[in-house]
Amino acid sequence: MNTTKARTGTPANPTWREWTALAVLALPLFMMATDFTAIFLATPAIAADLMPSTTQLLWVVHIGELIAAGFVITMGWLTGRIGPRLLLLMALALYGIASALAAFAPNAETLLVARVLIGLAAAAASPAGIALLRSLFSSAKHFAIGFAVVMGAFSVGGALGPPLAGLLLEYFWWGSVFLLNVPVAAVAVLAGLWLFPRAADRTTDRIDMTSVLISVGAVILVVYGLQNFADRGITVPYTLAVVTGLALGWWFIRRQRRIENPLLDLDLFSIRVLRILAIVFVTSQVAFMTADFVLVQYLQVVTGISTAPLGLLLAIPAIAAIIATAMTPVLSRKLTPATVMTAGMGIAVVGTIVLLIAIAAAPVTPLFAVGMTIIALGVSPPMVVGAQLMVTTVSGRQTGPAAAIQDIASSLGATAGIVILGSLAMAVFNRSLRAAAPDGLDDSALDAAAESPGGAVAAADSIGGATGAELLHAAQDALTWGTVAAYIVALIVGVATMVILRGLRGVQLPDDDPEEPAHETATAEAAIGGSKTASEPSIDTTTEETPTNEKPINEELGRHGNNPAH
C-alpha cells in the first residue's frame, strides 16, 4: 500500500486503497454504534417473544455497554501486542457471529451471551480501528480526515440507531436489528484481509491476567452502580458496587506501578495534554450529552410531542452533528486545537442558554430544535479534535491504550452525567410535585406520581376529572423546574470545561506525520515555566526494551523541543 514516506520525507498521498479501507473500517463501526441505542426500541418485542425475567431483560439491554467499557483497557493493550489489523479483523468476525446468534436466539440466555460477545467486539474495535488509521494515512491532513470519518461513524451510528431500528421493527421481527449486521461484518472481514495494513510496531510484553480481571471488575462495577443510581436511586447494593469498583481501581493502579508488564502504562498520565483531555471528555459528556434524556421527558410530558414527531425533531441535531464532524478536518488545519475546542464548547454553551430560554419563555418546539442543533454543531468538532489530539500525543504503539483512556473517560462522563443531572432533575421534580399536588390526593397516588414523570402522567390519567388535570398540571410544572435545574448545572459545567481547555493553549496537532506526537509551541512551553516540574515525573524509557523501528515517547517528543508531557 502507498502509505510510506517518499525519500524526501514528504508523506505519500493516499490511493483508492486507503480510502476504500477507510470506508470498510467506518461501516462496521457505524453498525456497532447503532446496537447500543437500537436495543432500547427492540426491548418490547424481545420481551414478548422470549419472555425473559425482569432481571434478564435489564441485563440484555445493558450488558453489552458494560462489557465494552470493562474490556476496553485490555483491548487497548492487545492493540499494541498483536497489532490493530489482526485485532480488528477478529473483532469484526466475532461481531458477525454474535449478531447472528442474537438474531436467532431461542431464549433469553442465548441472547444474553450474544450481547456479551457483541460488547467484547465493540471493546476491541474502537482502539484497534483508531490505531489502524495511523498505518493507513501517513500525512496529518489525511489522518485528520480519516479520524473525523471514524469518529463520525460512532456518533452518527448512535444517533441513527433508534430510527433504523424502528424502520426494521415496523416490517420485520426483532432479530432483524441484529441480522443486518452479519453481512456488514462479513464484507468488512473479507475486504479488511486485503486492504488493512499491518503495523510494524508491537510490544513483546506478556499480558498480566490479574490486571485484566481487576480492570474489568473495576470499570463494570463503577459503571453498573452509577447507572442504577440514576434508574433506581442510591441504595446499599449499588453503593457497594461503586465502592468495590473504586477499591479495585485503586488496586489496579498500585499493581500497574509495581509490575514490569503493566496492562496500562500509567506514564501516559504524565503527559499533561492527555490528562487535560481525559478531564474534558468527562466534563463535556456531563454538560452537553447527558442532559438530553431529561429534555426528552420534558418534551413528551410538558409539550405533548408524540414519539414520531419527537424522532424527527431529534434527527435535526443528529444531521447537524454529521455536518459539524465533516467540517472538523478543515477547522483543525486552520485553527489550533485549543481554539477549535474552546470555540465549540462556547457555541454549545450558547445552545444550552437557548434551551433555557425556550423552557422559561414558553414550550415553543422550533426553539428547542434550534437549541439542540446549536449544541450539536458546537460539541462535535471538540470531540473529534480532542480524541485526535489524545491519540497523536503518544507514539504509534501507544495509540490503542490512549484510545482506551478516551473511551473510559467518555463512558464515565456519560454515566456520571446521567446520575448527577438525572438525579438532580428528579429530586427537584419530586419535591416540586409534592408541594403543588392537589389537596386530598391519596398518599399512594402521590407517591406513584412523584416517582417519575411517566408515573405522574399515568396517575393523572387514572384519577381523571379536575383532580387528575390538576395533578398533571402540577407534574408538568415540576418537570419544568427539574429540567431547568439540570440545564443550569450543565451550563456551569460547560463553562468550567472552557476554562479547563485553557491548558491546551500552544498545543499543536502534527503538521506532517501522524506518527509524530502532538507538540507545544515554544511560547506555550515558556508560559508554563519549562518542561518539567517536581510533581510531574518524566516518562521512564529505560525499563522497557524499545523496538528498533520506534523511538521512545520522550525521544520523539524531544524532536519538538521540551517534552509536552509536562
Q: Tell me: the pLDDT tens digits for 394-443?
A: 766 677 777 777 777 877 787 777 777 877 888 888 888 888 877 777 77
- Report the distance separating Cα 472 and Cα 454, nearest Å: 10
Question: Is 533 strand, coil or helix?
Answer: strand
Phi and psi torsions of 349, nearest 5°: -60, -40
Phi and psi torsions of 520, nearest 5°: -105, 150
How many helices (H) and strands (E) in the chain?
A: 21, 2
Dihedral sign, Cα of residue 55, residue 60, residue 65, residue 71: positive
Residue 151 buriedness (CB in 10 A; 0-12 / 13-18 / 19+): buried
To the nearest whole percent, how much of the chain has pLDDT over 90? 5
**Of 157-161, 168-172, 202-206, 385-389, which one has max mean pLDDT?**
385-389
- Report the distance separating Cα 271 and Cα 554, nearest Å: 10
Task: Give which of 491, 402, 389, 441 is closest to 76, Cα–Cα.
Answer: 402
Q: What is the CATH number of domain 14-202?
A: 1.20.1250.20
- Report the distance separating Cα 387 and Cα 318, nearest Å: 19
Rounded alpha-carbon distances, angstroms, from residue 361 to 9, 324, 365, 373, 518: 59, 29, 12, 19, 45
- Is residue 10 over pLDDT 90? no
Q: Could you tell me which residues are beta bridge partners of residue 520?
A: 507
Q: What is the pLDDT of residue 201?
A: 60
Phi-psi region of 82 (alpha: psi -120 to 50; beta: other; left: phi over 0): alpha
- Report the distance separating Cα 503 and Cα 76, nearest Å: 26
- Report the distance separating Cα 269 and Cα 503, nearest Å: 15
The stretch 34-58 carries a mean pLDDT of 74
Phi and psi torsions of 533, nearest 5°: -130, 165
- Report the distance separating Cα 418 and Cα 234, nearest Å: 13
Model confidence band, residue 351 (pLDDT cutoffs 50, 70, 90): very high
Rounded alpha-carbon distances, angstroms, from residue 161 to 81, 170, 222, 307, 311: 32, 14, 26, 15, 11
**Are the C-beta atoms of residues 120 and 71 closer than 8 Å to each other?**
yes
> SS3 sequence, 487-517?
HHHHHHHHHHHHHHHHHHCCEECCCCCCCCC
Model confidence band, residue 209 (pLDDT cutoffs 50, 70, 90): confident
DSSP states of 178-204: HHTHHHHHHHHHHHHHHHSPPPS----
Fold identical between 14-202 and 264-422+487-532? Answer: yes
**Are the C-beta atoms of residues 519 and 173 closer than 8 Å to each other?**
no
Q: What is the pLDDT of residue 5?
A: 43
Q: Could you tell me which residues are beta bridge partners of residue 533?
A: 536
- Report the distance separating Cα 35 and Cα 103, nearest Å: 12
- Report the distance separating Cα 486 and Cα 429, nearest Å: 11
Domain ranges of the chain: 14-202, 208-262, 264-422+487-532, 430-486
**Are the C-beta atoms of residues 82 and 73 closer than 8 Å to each other?**
no
- Report the distance separating Cα 154 and Cα 322, nearest Å: 11
**Residues ≥6 apart with Cβ < 8 Å to 47:** 57
- Is residue 565 over pLDDT 80? no
**Are the C-beta atoms of residues 490 and 359 closer than 8 Å to each other?**
no
Using the structure block, give the residue that is written with the C-alpha cell 480532542.
386
**Residues ≥6 apart with Cβ < 8 Å to 286:** 413, 416, 417, 420, 421, 490, 493
Q: What is the pLDDT of residues 522-553, one digit of tens each?
A: 333 333 333 333 333 333 433 333 343 333 33
- Residue 213 one-letter amino acid: L
- Report the distance separating Cα 319 and Cα 482, nearest Å: 28
Residue 532 buriedness (CB in 10 A; 0-12 / 13-18 / 19+): middle
CATH 1.20.1250.20 fits 264-422+487-532, yes or no: yes
Q: What is the pLDDT of residues 477-486, one digit of tens each?
A: 888 888 888 8
Q: What is the pLDDT of residue 261?
A: 75
Q: What is the dihedral of CA 361, 362, 366, 369, to 10 degrees?
A: 70
- Report the distance separating Cα 275 and Cα 411, nearest Å: 16
Joined grid coordinates for residue 308: 414520531
**Residues ≥6 apart with Cβ < 8 Å to 93:** 185, 189
Q: What is the pLDDT of residue 347?
A: 93
To the nearest whole percent, how much of the chain has pLDDT over 70? 80
Q: What is the pLDDT of residue 343?
A: 92
